[in-house]
Amino acid sequence: MESQQTTWETLRAKLEETESFPLLYMFKFVLPSDNHKVALLTAQFEEQNAEITMRTSATGKHTSITVRLVVLSADEIIDHYKRATQIEGVIML
């Protein structure tokens, strides 16, 4: 299993190889439908003019969040993902 650092380095290399920056990037997350957790995740994007859409699962147990944001580098994308991993139960798609 890859270390977390290796995972980020692999993602950075793939992004830099396949994308041109600045870029409109789409983040997708699924997390438990807990208002506090949803607020923690969306707060990291609020001051950046991100388009945030949320959908609750049919059972109401999970919330999917899609964020569209103009990013300037692969590092900016990775920083957002790293911050999201600090929230218990978050799944990054």
Domain spans, the chain: 4-92
Q: What is the mean pLDDT of each run of 10 residues along the chain (93 residues)?
A: 80 96 97 96 92 97 97 96 96 94
And the tokens for 64?
């999917």
Tell whether the torsion through CA atoms of 35, 41, 47 and 49 is positive or negative.
negative
pLDDT at site 3: 77
pLDDT at site 2: 59
The pTM of the full predicted model, rounded to 2 decimals, is 0.90
With CA atoms as reference, report the closest residue to 16 among 92, 76, 73: 73
pLDDT at site 48: 87
CATH class of 4-92: alpha beta
* Alpha-carbon gap, residue 74 to 88, rounded angstroms: 24
